[in-house]
């Protein structure tokens, strides 16, 4: 039986975590009438995650998103990673962070305000160089803010780009996120080819389906006759976040429940994925992901921000999710 751990506050806001994959199983949030509901897609039984192919609620690593041909060079060495999406390497490989049990190293069982998980990834696991120690701290506040912090160190130079893969649906009684309103603070995004790989250039969002600088419903442009939309059968693209003092990356809201999610991050990009290929017990567009991260395929694109983690250097990143009302 897979154990689960709860974080909670005095407002009825709570988060359920399981050590397998560091998975966020539930985020329970009040609506404008005080009704508390889980607003992330999940499996009822934790054991069902063992067979999951959609990264539901999971930690992603060592490298989120796609790496072309599953290959990259570091120094004078070439490395071959798992190919688990056609010829691509996706979300850390066949047995990435999402398919391993994490160790609970600290848990605030009295106040239920934080939990810290740890995973040791061996040299050449899924093809990645370096023995890597990764810690993840989940914490909540009485202001209904949920924070994810990644900390890591490797004994060799490696690449590293972790994220969290929750599918949000702020109105779970509806099996679709198409009526959700989304704002992304980004003037540019990364176009992709038919294999979902970035085209190694950036494109402006103005006058395209990718302009979320003003809040709009997902359904407005998701079926637009646009090559980029057609390539991914919806949105599955990385947006280049504008630098701002607040670090606000995106705002997601839903009118019926009044729920609103504000995401802040120190990462340069955010991947919007509208659940275009969900299956099994889940329906297409039943949830959407907002994955804070470095750029896809960055190890092979010199113009993208470096994803190299130097040996014995500390990695740190932080993303917060503030749940409020419209």
What does DSSP assign to residue 315?
A: E
d(CA 78, CA 296): 18
φ, ψ of residue 47 to 5 degrees: the values are -65, -20
Q: Between the CA of residue 237 and those of 50, 128, 175, 268, 283, what are the distances in Å? A: 27, 24, 22, 13, 20
Neighbours of 315 (CB within 10 A): 18
From 165, 237, 251, 254, active-site residue: 165
From 125, 181, 251, 291, active-site residue: 291
d(CA 136, CA 118): 6
d(CA 98, CA 12): 28
d(CA 156, CA 317): 19
Q: Between the CA of residue 196 and those of 200, 207, 229, 236, what are the distances in Å? A: 12, 22, 11, 8
Nearest to 141 by CA among 326, 321, 289: 321
- Determine whether 145 is an active site residue: no
- Determine whether 291 is an active site residue: yes
Neighbours of 34 (CB within 10 A): 8
Catalytic (active-site) positions: 165, 291
């Amino acid at each position: 039986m897979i154990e689960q751990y709860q974080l909670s506050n005095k407002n009825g806001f709570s988060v359920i975590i399981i050590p397998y994959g560091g998975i966020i199983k539930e985020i329970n949030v009040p609506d404008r009438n005080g009704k508390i509901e889980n607003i992330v897609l999940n499996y009822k039984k934790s054991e069902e995650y063992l067979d999951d192919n959609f990264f539901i609620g999971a930690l992603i690593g060592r490298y989120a998103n796609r790496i072309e041909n599953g290959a990259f060079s570091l120094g004078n060495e070439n490395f071959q990673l798992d190919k688990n999406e056609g010829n691509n390497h996706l979300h850390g490989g066949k047995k990435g962070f999402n398919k391993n049990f994490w160790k609970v190293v600290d848990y605030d069982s009295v106040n239920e305000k934080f939990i810290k998980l740890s995973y040791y990834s061996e040299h050449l696991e899924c093809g990645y160089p370096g023995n890597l120690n990764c810690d993840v701290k989940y914490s909540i506040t009485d202001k209904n803010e949920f924070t994810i912090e990644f900390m890591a160190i490797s004994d060799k130079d490696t690449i590293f780009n972790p994220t969290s893969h929750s599918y949000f649906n702020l109105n779970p009684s509806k099996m679709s996120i198409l009526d959700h309103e989304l704002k992304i603070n980004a003037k540019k995004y990364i176009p992709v080819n038919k294999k979902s790989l970035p085209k190694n250039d950036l494109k402006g969002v103005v006058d395209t389906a990718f302009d979320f600088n003003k809040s709009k419903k997902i359904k407005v442009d998701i079926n637009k006759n646009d090559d980029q939309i057609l390539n991914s059968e919806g949105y599955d693209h990385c947006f280049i976040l504008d630098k701002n003092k607040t670090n606000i990356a995106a705002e997601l809201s839903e009118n019926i429940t009044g729920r609103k999610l504000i995401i802040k991050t120190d990462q340069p990009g955010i991947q919007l994925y509208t659940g275009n290929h969900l299956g099994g017990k889940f329906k297409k567009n039943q949830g959407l992901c907002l994955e804070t991260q470095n750029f896809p395929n960055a190890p092979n694109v010199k113009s993208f921000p470096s994803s190299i983690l130097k040996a014995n250097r500390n990695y740190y990143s932080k993303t917060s999710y503030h749940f409020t009302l419209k």
